[in-house]
Amino acid sequence: MASRKNNTWDGYKDIATKCAAEEFCNMALTLCHITDRMFEGYLKYLEKRFIEEGGIKERMHAARTGYREGIDRRLHELEAENQRLKAENEELKKRLEEACRG
């Protein structure tokens, strides 16, 4: 029996009727302890993640800032390339004029 598939009373009814009340209560209590330990581990994981990565607002800010920095860096690269191409274009125009004169 898997609790993911049998998460209703029908999934446990057979066990409950076959076991003594004390045995069934012990199984239920064990399930509560297992669940508690899983949640405890998950909370520790979330705490560690929060300490290392920050909260959602911090991560969103970092993602947006990183994106903007990438856009700004690309814009500066394109501006520099544009200036270089303009200078190259002017040089080629001069050469063409000289070639047409000479």
Residue ranges per structural domain of the chain: 1-53, 54-102
Give the pLDDT confidence score for residue 6 in this predicted structure: 65
Encoded tokens for 69: 């920095």
Burial (0-12, 13-18, 19+ Cβ within 10 Å), 19: middle
Does pTM top 0.85 for this prediction?
no
Nearest to 26 by CA among 36, 16, 40: 16
Report yes or no: 40 and 49 within 8 Å, Cβ to Cβ.
no
Give per-residue pLDDT as tens, 48-99.
Answer: 999 998 899 998 999 999 999 999 999 999 999 999 999 999 999 999 999 9
| Whether residue 1 has pLDDT greater than 60 | no
DSSP state of 7: -
Q: What are phi and psi of 20, to 5 degrees?
A: -70, 155
| Whether residue 9 has pLDDT greater than 90 | no
3: Cβ contacts below 8 Å, ≥ 6 apart: 11, 31
